[in-house]
Structure 1
Amino acid sequence: MIHSNWIWSASGDLTINGNTLEMDGVGNSEAIGTLSVILPVNALPARHTFQNNDSMLVDHDLLFTLQVVQVHRAEATILSPLPEIGEEIVSMNVSESQRILLRLENPGNGQDEYILSAVSVAGAGMASAPEVDFQLYNPQRTLGALATTIATVDVTLSQEIPAQTPFQLAFTWQSIINESAIATVYMDVEAEPDHQWDLDLQGGHTINVTPSQLLELNITLTNIGNSIDNITMKPSFSMSYSGNDASSWSAQEVSSGIVEINATKNIVLPVSIPSDTWAGTEATMTIDLYSGALMIGQTIVNITVDHVSGWRFNLSQTSLEVVPEGQNITLTVQQLGNSPESPWFTKAGQGWMVEIPSNGSVIEPGQMSTITVFVTPPVESVAGEVGVLRLRISDSDGSGSIVEEIPVRVGAAPNINIEHSGIWMLSQTGGLPTAWVNNLGNDVSILQLSVSGLPSGWEVSGDSQMVIAPRQSLGIPINLIPDANWDGQRFLVSIEITHPTLGLHSYDIEVEASEVAFTSSPVLFGIEGQQLSVSLNSDLQLSSSDSFQQQGNTLSFTLGTSSNDIILDQPNSQTPLKVYVSGQALPNVTVDCSLNSNSFENLGRIELSGSVGDCSMFASQDESLHATMMIVTDSGEKVELLQQTIVIGAGQNATVEANISGWVPSAGTVKITLLIVDSYGRTLSEESVTHLMQKEIS
């Protein structure tokens, strides 16, 4: 009866004394006692026979058997993972294996066969148990009494499981021998948001761009995760620069906003390509993907800068005025492309004569260099006339070809001289000289007129100022009135002409008394066949070997194609009068000008601006028309026009307005004359109006 950990007890007529079982009773009567035993939990199942003879009495034998049956038990405990402190649920990432450790026990009293199984249990609000994959290692095991083992189970939650929705994992440890011996433990779990997205980049992940381009990356986002989510894209760049490219690349982050599960959203990630980036530069744009503060992935876009060509002339610091005989102009060439290239130049179209180099030196993107061109204006051009140089500039292979129009203006080159023929013949009432001014320059000249070297009592009348167009010749409109006591003897006087740029020109001429003198300039310029007249202070008949007509005090001359003096003999004087005539065979040009008298109604009250007249002009079929438009007053004042130079192609016609700005004449009656003078110096049109300026502007 002695077994380890067996605990025996007796009651009734039985007692246990040490190792002896004793029974007390009365003779010839039965004795009854109870023998009890407490078995240890690991008491092996077996039949135990207890037999012993009393050492003192015969027929007092002890004989009984005890059958220890097997008790089947099962026990299971989750070792890990366990909820965080303060939490009751274990969070797991979907689609990722999570290892679970279990302690499995055989609390029974004999060896047993067990099997481990696992299932998911639907949580509240779930229609069915979530899909969970269990990887059980050695699920069937044999354990001895009171033995334990550690089981490993790898659990993978399906990505279809909605996030943060609790459910349970049930692990069952069951006896195969006695299926009623079963233990099930539960783990409360939930799926973590997996932040799974499908990104579709329109155009792919390799993109070619050009400088200054606004690259818009169109991205289609699909939330294939297990929870409502948002995604923020944070771009950064790593660069592989071409040449001396030092451009700075950046892009702003963009966010999708909230996107439902399985929903799709289109977003645009704008990238401003730097204007100064070079061809061949490669930018690797890494787009980090964030959900909140959690980085959930990234995608790469490879960007390559394509070659673009471009050129221009930068005229900001360039002098674009040339002298009439031509001169060098330095032009600044700016590289607008994105690869080091040499500019190549050609003349594009008609226009002024220009000599240009075929090409320049290599210029890096964004940089500038200079070339020198020689520009020659047309021979007939006048000061202020603007011509357009059309120059083509490109890469050596013609890429980036562009025609630049460069306006070039003819600078002023003033030049005048004074000529005369014969003696200045004066009557008692005066007379005008056979003297004239040639404007050999290319600008409109305003000349101041005077006479020096006069004795006391002499007077100068007529205009003190004259306006003369380029290449025009005009008689000097000075009337010199002698003193009444003059004895008629010859002497020298000086005609003084002051040019605003050239200064004073003095020209000596003799004066002599005459019965007949000119009251209008005896200097006639015109075209072949034109009839012009000169007036006298007398109707005294004159004679000449040259052809002319006289009617009263008016002499008429028909111009030929030469320049010469017409000598007019006086009946009572040995000194003849001379008329200088000059005619040319010139292209047939038609000009019809008109002044709008109503435009001058407020003359003097307000500054006069705007159109005051116009000219219809028809060039000859053989050559272009170059002319100068002028408005002058009878006092010799030149009124500034917005457009002075006129150029009309051969066989072409145009209507040109006479526009003035902010003109206020002096008080009094003013005669206003609109003149058109061509490059040959001939007056093509002359129209006048007379107005009284009533009041000075205050």
Structure 2
Amino acid sequence: MGDQSVSDSDSVALEARQDHRWNLSASVSDSDADGRTFAVAPGGGLTIDVDSTNVGNLIDGLELKVTYNVSLIGEDGSQNWNSSGDSVTGIEVNQSAQMTVEVSVPEDAWNGSVMSVSVSAEVQGEVMGSFSFNVEVAHTPGWSVVADQANLEVEPGGSSVELSVIQLGNSPSEAYATVWVSGDNGWEIEVPDDLPVLAPGQSAAMTLNITPPETAQHGRAVELHIRLREGDGSGEAEITLPLRVSVFHDFDMSGEGDWLVSDGGGHPLTELRNLGNAPTTISLQVLSLPLGWTVSGPMEVVLGVGEIKGVPLEVIPSADWDGSVQTIRILAEDSAGNQREVSLDTEQSEYSWASSPVIVAVSGDHALVGIHGTDSLSSVTDSSSGPLERGESGDWALPALSSGAGSLSVGGSVLVYYAHVTQPSLRTAFCSIQGEFGAVMAQCSVLNGSDSFSFTILLIDDRGEMLSSFSGKAAGGTPLGPINLSAEGWSPEPGTRVLTLRLLDDRGVEIASVTGDFQIRRTDWNIGLVKLELDGEGSEQQIRVLTKRGDGDRAILEQYNADCSFSLVSGDYSMVHQVDLTGTFAPTVEIDRPEAIDDGEEIVVTIGCTFPWDIDSDSNDDESRLILSGGITEPSKYPDMGTSLAAAMLVIGVSVALAWIVRNYREGKDLMEMAMAAAEEKMVGQGAREAVEEVPVKEEVKEEVEEPREPESVSEDYPEDDFEARLKRLTRE
């Protein structure tokens, strides 16, 4: 044996080798994931929960490494499949960590494509465990219908509508379609029996043969419902498309009998009927009108769908018409260019229709008719209802009993009419027009009723132009409204204009109607005063008013025959003077100064026009003021000069006349005396001559003193002739 007393020792450091050990548990919703296949929708994902516990002998970490393989089915070309692992570090012994494995499926993946995923848990290249699972793309059905470039307006006689069916699912399949129309009855739809099998993303045409009912109206939309589903009923999808019948214009015009015409005119027995499926505007023309005859009434008529209306025109004969038959033609044309024409022969009558003899009324109501030639003493008798009553307006109340021809007897004349009598509507409605030009509010409401109610609303101006319309349907037991119609685009002429709002049912019978008056003005023009001037003085003085107008306004004022004037006001005095502003130049008006206005008083002159030209673009130049002066002249220094001159002339004239008379008398007397004296001188001698001369001369002198001498001064202005000179010489001798 060895020597036990011999021994040896050494110090050695010992270290235990790390033991990497982990317990793994992979699950989905608390169910084991290893070896399972999971269904994932396109665009979806999957999360695998991994519970990892460190059962080794030292703090440790773990990494989940993932590998995968994708098996695509059919023509699946999807990409971007993905799966990723997880990792942890610093896990204490006997401690656990939650880890995950993520999987994502692309949105365009087809049903049946599979992704196989393998997961290994590793620590420093050493595999601690592994598991695997599969992901399969689930079936997701989906369908859609596109009306791209499809005409969803169906012809009145029916037409085909081609739609596109698109496969939005992720598996090739066949769609089964169910199609119907809501909003109106009577629409017929033929659906193809089979649609082709479509792969995901593919599309195919689906042709529907659709026939609307005869009562379908343009503008009244219905809803086309299309429901698509898979063969097993899954993946049901429903879409709704608007559908309406395309517009169709047609009308009829018919005339009966002769055109009765009296001195006051007359309406024809001619009616218009809208045969289209939309409201229409019909333009009228009267052709071959005799010379001197005139036409009265609107030249355009708006008709609702199915509406009947008499031609609203009458002809007025010339004063010299002898009653001879005249053939007059009426031409009607709608907006689509359809034309209708009737020719009627005139018949002279003492009485004629002052309103259309085409009567449209509701049973039980009265229609008001006008008759030319009748008055309060006239008697009018209906062929069906007997004597008619005359209203305050002068029209006659005709009971609406039944449809068909009838006649009125008045004064031995027979006036034929045609009545269209309908039953009352199933619903009532009311309409209103409010607002002002530029902000018109036109609306109608349909009241409640047990049955469905189809209707059309028309907004019409006073020229017969349809501004807007609306067609709709109120469901049974449900009111509808208010429904607003737009007057946008209405451009009326200046003046008082009228809008009419009408609601018609599907028979073309008027249910409600209302009118609204609008004051239309233009303010894109201007007139004004330049200044006021005084011309002259005293009683001859005049006030000169200088006016102006805007460029181009002459044509506007002349076109509409604007009534313009200016007013002059001073205190209690006022006057109005008409002024014509349509001349080549703006006028200058002269008016006599009013005697009632004294110097120092102010006059105010204002220019303006009557409605609708009562507002222009600038009101600041419409008024001008002036203080009057020069109305009183200085008094004359010789106020009676005229009278004095007249009196003087009269006196001079009388004096001249008297002087002439006296002179003639004296000359005659002197001549006689001188002749007698000369004879006596020769007979008795010189002595007898002196005796004879002494007495007459003395008497003559005395006679001259007693007589007035004023005329002689006048006679001195006349020159003496030879005879007078000789007489004077004789007298001196």
Q: Name the TM-score, length of structure 1 as normaliser.
A: 0.63
Tell me the residue number matched to 1:157.
none
Shift of 1:439: 0.6
Question: How far apart in 1 are the matches of 2:243 and 2:123?
Answer: 63
- Shift of the 228–459 alpha-carbon distance from structure 1 to 2, 3 Å rule, reads farther
- Shift of the 222–421 alpha-carbon distance from structure 1 to 2, 3 Å rule, reads same
Are 1:389 and 1:407, in contact at CA under 8 Å, matched by a contact in 2?
Answer: yes
Tell me the residue number matched to 1:439.
274
Shift of 1:421: 2.1
Are 1:223 and 1:259, in contact at CA under 8 Å, matched by a contact in 2?
Answer: no
**1:655 corresponds to which letter in structure 2?**
G
Q: Choose between structure 1 and 2: higher helix proportion.
A: 2
Shift of 1:595: 0.8
Tell me the residue number matched to 1:629.
457
Tell me the residue number matched to 2:426.
589
Q: Is residue 110 of structure 2 the alignment partner of residue 278 of structure 1?
A: yes
Question: How far apart in 2 are the matches of 1:517 and 1:181?
Answer: 158
Question: How far apart in 2 are the matches of 1:568 and 1:524?
Answer: 13
- Shift of the 508–247 alpha-carbon distance from structure 1 to 2, 3 Å rule, reads farther
1:151-300 to 2 correspondences below 5 Å:
180-181=7-8, 198=24, 200-203=26-29, 204=33, 206-217=36-47, 219-220=49-50, 222=52, 224=54, 237-251=68-82, 261=92, 271-285=103-117, 300=132
Q: CA deviation digits over 1:384-403, x for unaligned, max 9?
A: 22222334322222222334
Q: CA deviation digits over 1:242-276, x for unaligned, max 9?
A: 22222223348586687654766657766553333
Q: CA deviation digits over 1:398-450, x for unaligned, max 9?
A: 22233433321111122111112222333344333221211111111122222
Shift of 1:324: 2.6
Q: CA deviation digits over 1:576-605, x for unaligned, max 9?
A: 432221123x464231213152xx13x23x
**2:501 corresponds to which letter in structure 1?**
L
1:368-383 to 2 correspondences below 5 Å:
368-383=203-218
* Aligned-partner SS, 2:77: coil
Tell me the residue number matched to 1:122.
none
* Greater Cα shift, 676-685 or 535-544: 535-544
Tell me the residue number matched to 2:400.
559
Are 1:276 and 1:366, in contact at CA under 8 Å, matched by a contact in 2?
Answer: no
1:669 to 482, 489, 496: 496
Tell me the residue number matched to 2:480.
654
- Shift of the 676–476 alpha-carbon distance from structure 1 to 2, 3 Å rule, reads same
* Greater Cα shift, 203-212 or 397-406: 203-212
Tell me the residue number matched to 1:329.
161
Are 2:110 and 2:170, in contact at CA under 8 Å, matched by a contact in 1?
Answer: yes
Shift of 1:649: 3.6
Shift of 1:364: 1.7
* Aligned-partner SS, 2:164: strand
Are 2:425 and 2:511, in contact at CA under 8 Å, matched by a contact in 1?
Answer: no
Are 1:423 and 1:512, in contact at CA under 8 Å, matched by a contact in 2?
Answer: yes
Q: Is residue 403 of structure 2 the alignment partner of residue 571 of structure 1?
A: no
Question: How far apart in 1 are the matches of 2:484 and 2:515?
Answer: 13
Shift of 1:303: 0.7
1:59-458 to 2 correspondences below 5 Å:
180-181=7-8, 198=24, 200-203=26-29, 204=33, 206-217=36-47, 219-220=49-50, 222=52, 224=54, 237-251=68-82, 261=92, 271-285=103-117, 300-347=132-179, 352-458=187-293
* Number of equivalenced pairs: 508
- Shift of the 458–264 alpha-carbon distance from structure 1 to 2, 3 Å rule, reads farther
1:489 to 324, 331, 338: 324
* Greater Cα shift, 680-689 or 382-391: 382-391
- Shift of the 298–537 alpha-carbon distance from structure 1 to 2, 3 Å rule, reads farther
1:9-24 to 2 correspondences below 5 Å:
none
Tell me the residue number matched to 1:150.
none
Shift of 1:547: 2.9
Shift of 1:308: 2.9
Are 1:195 and 1:291, in contact at CA under 8 Å, matched by a contact in 2?
Answer: no
Shift of 1:681: 1.4
Q: Is residue 446 of structure 2 the alignment partner of residue 616 of structure 1?
A: yes
- Shift of the 515–208 alpha-carbon distance from structure 1 to 2, 3 Å rule, reads farther
- Shift of the 537–306 alpha-carbon distance from structure 1 to 2, 3 Å rule, reads same
Are 2:333 and 2:339, in contact at CA under 8 Å, matched by a contact in 1?
Answer: yes
Question: How far apart in 2 are the matches of 1:372 and 1:281?
Answer: 33
**1:660 corresponds to which letter in structure 2?**
S
- Shift of the 613–544 alpha-carbon distance from structure 1 to 2, 3 Å rule, reads closer
- Shift of the 245–526 alpha-carbon distance from structure 1 to 2, 3 Å rule, reads farther
- Shift of the 658–189 alpha-carbon distance from structure 1 to 2, 3 Å rule, reads same
**1:613 corresponds to which letter in structure 2?**
Q
Q: Choose between structure 1 and 2: higher strand proportion.
A: 1
Are 1:587 and 1:620, in contact at CA under 8 Å, matched by a contact in 2?
Answer: no
Q: CA deviation digits over 1:515-553, x for unaligned, max 9?
A: 333332221123333321211233254455343524164
- Shift of the 307–636 alpha-carbon distance from structure 1 to 2, 3 Å rule, reads same
* Greater Cα shift, 312-321 or 511-520: 511-520
Shift of 1:471: 0.9
**1:582 corresponds to which letter in structure 2?**
H
Question: How far apart in 2 are the matches of 1:322 and 1:348?
Answer: 15
1:600-615 to 2 correspondences below 5 Å:
600-601=435-436, 603-604=437-438, 608=440, 612-615=442-445
Question: How far apart in 2 are the matches of 1:475 and 1:295?
Answer: 101
Q: Is residue 476 of structure 2 the alignment partner of residue 681 of structure 1?
A: no
* Greater Cα shift, 487-496 or 443-452: 487-496
Are 2:383 and 2:409, in contact at CA under 8 Å, matched by a contact in 1?
Answer: no
Question: How far apart in 2 are the matches of 1:440 and 1:328?
Answer: 24
Question: How far apart in 2 are the matches of 1:661 and 1:289?
Answer: 78
Question: How far apart in 2 are the matches of 1:292 and 1:424?
Answer: 116
- Shift of the 217–532 alpha-carbon distance from structure 1 to 2, 3 Å rule, reads same
**1:583 corresponds to which letter in structure 2?**
V
Question: How far apart in 2 are the matches of 1:346 and 1:392?
Answer: 5
Shift of 1:322: 1.0
Are 2:62 and 2:121, in contact at CA under 8 Å, matched by a contact in 1?
Answer: no
**2:227 corresponds to which letter in structure 1?**
R
* Aligned-partner SS, 1:662: coil
Question: How far apart in 1 are the matches of 2:71 and 2:381?
Answer: 98
Question: How far apart in 2 are the matches of 1:309 and 1:589?
Answer: 47
Question: How far apart in 1 are the matches of 2:120 and 2:418?
Answer: 95
* Aligned-partner SS, 2:447: strand
- Shift of the 270–439 alpha-carbon distance from structure 1 to 2, 3 Å rule, reads farther
Q: CA deviation digits over 1:332-391, x for unaligned, max 9?
A: 222222222222233568653322234322222221112222223233221122222334
Are 1:380 and 1:626, in contact at CA under 8 Å, matched by a contact in 2?
Answer: no
- Shift of the 321–211 alpha-carbon distance from structure 1 to 2, 3 Å rule, reads farther
Are 2:189 and 2:210, in contact at CA under 8 Å, matched by a contact in 1?
Answer: yes
Question: How far apart in 1 are the matches of 2:226 and 2:491?
Answer: 44
- Shift of the 392–683 alpha-carbon distance from structure 1 to 2, 3 Å rule, reads same
Question: How far apart in 2 are the matches of 1:295 and 1:472?
Answer: 92
Tell me the residue number matched to 2:299.
464
Are 1:588 and 1:620, in contact at CA under 8 Å, matched by a contact in 2?
Answer: no
- Shift of the 637–297 alpha-carbon distance from structure 1 to 2, 3 Å rule, reads farther
